[in-house]
Amino acid sequence: MRNNQPANPVEVALDDHVLVVSKTDLLGNITYVNRDFVEISGFSEAELLGQPHSVLRHPDMPLEVFEDMWRDLKAGRPWAGMIKNRCKNGDYYWVWSNATPIRESGQASGYIWVRRKASPQQIQWAEATYTAFREKRSGRSKILHGGVVAGGLAGAIRQWLLNASSSQKIVLGMLVGLLLILGGRPDCSVAMSRMPWMYRVG
Protein backbone atom coordinates (compact mmCIF):
# COMPACT_ATOMS: atom_id res chain seq x y z
CA MET A 1 0.00 0.00 0.00
CA ARG A 2 1.55 3.22 -1.17
CA ASN A 3 1.92 5.99 1.44
CA ASN A 4 2.46 9.30 -0.38
CA GLN A 5 3.67 12.11 1.89
CA PRO A 6 3.40 14.86 2.95
CA ALA A 7 -0.38 15.21 3.30
CA ASN A 8 -1.40 18.78 4.12
CA PRO A 9 -4.80 19.69 5.55
CA VAL A 10 -5.36 22.06 2.60
CA GLU A 11 -8.30 21.37 0.31
CA VAL A 12 -8.17 22.40 -3.34
CA ALA A 13 -11.67 23.49 -4.41
CA LEU A 14 -12.69 22.36 -7.89
CA ASP A 15 -14.77 24.49 -10.25
CA ASP A 16 -18.17 23.14 -11.29
CA HIS A 17 -17.14 22.69 -14.94
CA VAL A 18 -13.90 20.80 -14.24
CA LEU A 19 -13.61 17.23 -15.60
CA VAL A 20 -10.51 15.37 -14.46
CA VAL A 21 -9.94 12.57 -16.98
CA SER A 22 -7.34 9.82 -17.18
CA LYS A 23 -6.87 6.49 -18.90
CA THR A 24 -4.79 3.55 -17.78
CA ASP A 25 -3.69 0.17 -19.08
CA LEU A 26 -5.05 -2.97 -17.43
CA LEU A 27 -2.52 -2.68 -14.59
CA GLY A 28 -3.51 0.88 -13.69
CA ASN A 29 -0.51 2.59 -15.31
CA ILE A 30 -1.45 6.00 -16.66
CA THR A 31 -1.64 6.28 -20.47
CA TYR A 32 -3.54 9.58 -20.80
CA VAL A 33 -4.33 12.64 -18.68
CA ASN A 34 -6.28 15.74 -19.71
CA ARG A 35 -5.38 19.33 -18.97
CA ASP A 36 -7.62 19.66 -15.88
CA PHE A 37 -5.89 16.60 -14.43
CA VAL A 38 -2.45 18.16 -14.84
CA GLU A 39 -3.55 21.54 -13.45
CA ILE A 40 -5.21 20.14 -10.33
CA SER A 41 -2.73 17.39 -9.47
CA GLY A 42 0.30 19.67 -9.84
CA PHE A 43 2.20 16.91 -11.64
CA SER A 44 3.34 17.50 -15.23
CA GLU A 45 2.05 15.22 -17.98
CA ALA A 46 5.55 13.73 -18.30
CA GLU A 47 5.62 12.95 -14.57
CA LEU A 48 2.28 11.14 -14.81
CA LEU A 49 2.41 9.11 -18.04
CA GLY A 50 3.60 5.55 -17.43
CA GLN A 51 3.23 5.91 -13.64
CA PRO A 52 0.85 3.76 -11.58
CA HIS A 53 -2.30 5.69 -10.61
CA SER A 54 -1.39 5.20 -6.95
CA VAL A 55 0.94 8.20 -7.43
CA LEU A 56 -2.21 10.21 -6.55
CA ARG A 57 -3.24 8.11 -3.57
CA HIS A 58 -4.03 10.08 -0.46
CA PRO A 59 -3.05 8.32 2.80
CA ASP A 60 -6.60 8.89 4.15
CA MET A 61 -8.09 6.60 1.48
CA PRO A 62 -8.94 3.18 2.96
CA LEU A 63 -7.72 0.09 1.16
CA GLU A 64 -11.29 -1.29 0.97
CA VAL A 65 -12.35 1.39 -1.53
CA PHE A 66 -9.67 0.40 -4.03
CA GLU A 67 -10.32 -3.31 -3.48
CA ASP A 68 -14.00 -2.69 -4.30
CA MET A 69 -13.08 -0.59 -7.32
CA TRP A 70 -10.69 -3.18 -8.78
CA ARG A 71 -13.19 -6.00 -8.12
CA ASP A 72 -15.79 -4.18 -10.24
CA LEU A 73 -13.40 -3.09 -12.99
CA LYS A 74 -11.79 -6.53 -13.35
CA ALA A 75 -15.28 -8.05 -13.61
CA GLY A 76 -15.94 -5.66 -16.51
CA ARG A 77 -18.31 -3.48 -14.47
CA PRO A 78 -18.14 0.32 -14.21
CA TRP A 79 -17.46 1.76 -10.75
CA ALA A 80 -18.54 5.07 -9.24
CA GLY A 81 -17.53 6.46 -5.88
CA MET A 82 -15.77 9.10 -3.84
CA ILE A 83 -11.99 9.52 -4.05
CA LYS A 84 -9.71 11.83 -2.08
CA ASN A 85 -6.60 12.53 -4.14
CA ARG A 86 -3.30 14.01 -3.11
CA CYS A 87 -1.71 16.80 -5.16
CA LYS A 88 2.03 16.84 -5.80
CA ASN A 89 2.52 19.48 -3.06
CA GLY A 90 0.56 17.44 -0.49
CA ASP A 91 -2.77 19.34 -0.70
CA TYR A 92 -5.90 17.30 -1.45
CA TYR A 93 -9.13 17.37 -3.46
CA TRP A 94 -12.30 15.25 -3.35
CA VAL A 95 -13.81 13.98 -6.58
CA TRP A 96 -16.90 12.01 -7.55
CA SER A 97 -15.31 9.41 -9.81
CA ASN A 98 -16.71 7.23 -12.59
CA ALA A 99 -14.44 4.48 -13.87
CA THR A 100 -15.24 2.26 -16.86
CA PRO A 101 -13.42 -0.62 -18.50
CA ILE A 102 -12.45 0.00 -22.15
CA ARG A 103 -12.81 -2.79 -24.71
CA GLU A 104 -11.09 -2.73 -28.09
CA SER A 105 -11.85 -5.39 -30.72
CA GLY A 106 -13.75 -7.30 -28.04
CA GLN A 107 -10.75 -7.37 -25.68
CA ALA A 108 -10.34 -5.47 -22.39
CA SER A 109 -7.59 -2.93 -23.02
CA GLY A 110 -7.66 -0.55 -20.05
CA TYR A 111 -9.80 1.85 -18.03
CA ILE A 112 -11.02 5.42 -18.26
CA TRP A 113 -11.85 7.62 -15.25
CA VAL A 114 -13.89 10.77 -15.34
CA ARG A 115 -13.95 12.73 -12.10
CA ARG A 116 -15.86 15.85 -11.21
CA LYS A 117 -16.41 18.13 -8.27
CA ALA A 118 -18.08 16.35 -5.35
CA SER A 119 -20.97 17.97 -3.45
CA PRO A 120 -20.53 18.97 0.22
CA GLN A 121 -22.91 16.13 1.20
CA GLN A 122 -20.85 13.57 -0.75
CA ILE A 123 -17.66 14.84 0.91
CA GLN A 124 -19.26 14.73 4.37
CA TRP A 125 -20.42 11.15 3.77
CA ALA A 126 -17.01 10.04 2.46
CA GLU A 127 -15.06 11.72 5.29
CA ALA A 128 -17.19 9.96 7.93
CA THR A 129 -17.35 6.59 6.15
CA TYR A 130 -13.70 6.37 5.14
CA THR A 131 -12.52 7.47 8.61
CA ALA A 132 -14.59 4.65 10.14
CA PHE A 133 -13.02 2.11 7.75
CA ARG A 134 -9.51 3.44 8.32
CA GLU A 135 -9.94 3.32 12.08
CA LYS A 136 -11.51 -0.17 11.92
CA ARG A 137 -14.81 1.13 13.37
CA SER A 138 -16.94 0.00 10.44
CA GLY A 139 -18.06 -3.26 12.09
CA ARG A 140 -19.28 -5.75 9.52
CA SER A 141 -20.05 -3.07 6.91
CA LYS A 142 -18.45 -3.38 3.51
CA ILE A 143 -17.69 -1.06 0.62
CA LEU A 144 -19.68 -2.31 -2.36
CA HIS A 145 -19.89 -0.64 -5.79
CA GLY A 146 -18.66 2.58 -4.22
CA GLY A 147 -21.26 2.62 -1.41
CA VAL A 148 -21.54 0.98 1.99
CA VAL A 149 -23.61 -2.11 2.77
CA ALA A 150 -24.28 -3.86 6.05
CA GLY A 151 -22.34 -7.07 6.67
CA GLY A 152 -23.91 -10.37 7.77
CA LEU A 153 -27.06 -11.85 6.20
CA ALA A 154 -28.67 -8.49 5.33
CA GLY A 155 -25.49 -7.43 3.54
CA ALA A 156 -25.17 -10.75 1.73
CA ILE A 157 -28.78 -10.47 0.46
CA ARG A 158 -28.25 -6.90 -0.65
CA GLN A 159 -24.96 -7.86 -2.34
CA TRP A 160 -26.70 -10.70 -4.16
CA LEU A 161 -29.50 -8.35 -5.27
CA LEU A 162 -27.02 -5.78 -6.55
CA ASN A 163 -25.15 -8.39 -8.57
CA ALA A 164 -28.13 -10.48 -9.71
CA SER A 165 -29.10 -10.56 -13.39
CA SER A 166 -32.59 -9.38 -14.49
CA SER A 167 -33.76 -12.97 -14.97
CA GLN A 168 -32.59 -13.90 -11.45
CA LYS A 169 -34.51 -10.88 -10.11
CA ILE A 170 -37.65 -11.93 -12.03
CA VAL A 171 -37.44 -15.46 -10.59
CA LEU A 172 -36.97 -14.00 -7.08
CA GLY A 173 -39.96 -11.67 -7.63
CA MET A 174 -42.11 -14.65 -8.65
CA LEU A 175 -41.00 -16.62 -5.58
CA VAL A 176 -41.78 -13.69 -3.27
CA GLY A 177 -45.17 -13.28 -5.00
CA LEU A 178 -45.89 -17.00 -4.51
CA LEU A 179 -44.92 -16.83 -0.84
CA LEU A 180 -47.19 -13.81 -0.36
CA ILE A 181 -50.11 -15.61 -2.01
CA LEU A 182 -49.53 -18.75 0.09
CA GLY A 183 -49.05 -16.64 3.23
CA GLY A 184 -52.37 -14.93 2.51
CA ARG A 185 -54.39 -18.21 2.51
CA PRO A 186 -57.20 -18.42 5.09
CA ASP A 187 -56.26 -20.16 8.31
CA CYS A 188 -57.29 -23.78 7.50
CA SER A 189 -57.78 -24.83 11.10
CA VAL A 190 -60.43 -22.12 11.55
CA ALA A 191 -62.08 -23.02 8.25
CA MET A 192 -62.05 -26.72 9.13
CA SER A 193 -63.73 -26.14 12.48
CA ARG A 194 -66.43 -23.97 10.83
CA MET A 195 -66.98 -26.09 7.70
CA PRO A 196 -65.89 -29.64 8.62
CA TRP A 197 -67.83 -31.14 5.66
CA MET A 198 -65.42 -29.47 3.22
CA TYR A 199 -62.28 -30.84 4.86
CA ARG A 200 -62.75 -34.58 5.14
CA VAL A 201 -59.39 -35.95 6.25
CA GLY A 202 -58.34 -39.60 5.79
Shortest distance, position 12 Cβ to ligand FMN, whole Å: 13
Nearer to ligand FMN, 100 or 150 (CB): 100
Tell me how far apart the terminal alpha carbons of the chain are, to the nearest angstrom.
71
Q: Which stretch binds ligand FMN (CB under 6 A): 48-56, 143-151, 156-164, 168-176?
A: 48-56
Contacts (Cβ under 8 Å, ≥6 apart) of 194: none
Among 14, 33, 43, 53, binds ligand FMN (CB under 6 A): 53
Do residues 90 and 109 make contact, with C-beta atoms less than 8 angstroms apart?
no
Binding positions for ligand FMN, 85-114, rule CB under 6 A: 85, 99, 111, 113
Peptide bond into 101 cis (omega under 30): no
Segment near ligand FMN (CB under 6 A); pick from 20-28, 130-138, 140-148, 159-167: 20-28
To ligand FMN, the closest distance from the beta carbon of 40 in angstroms equals 10
Do the beta carbons of residue 32 and residue 48 sit within 8 Å? no
Bond preceding residue 6 cis, omega within 30 of 0: yes
| Count of residues that bind ligand FMN according to CB under 6 A | 17
Question: How many CA atoms are closer than 13 Å to the CA of 26, on its beta-carbon side?
Answer: 8
Interface with ligand FMN (CB under 6 A): 1-2, 22, 24, 28, 52-54, 56-57, 61, 66, 83, 85, 99, 111, 113
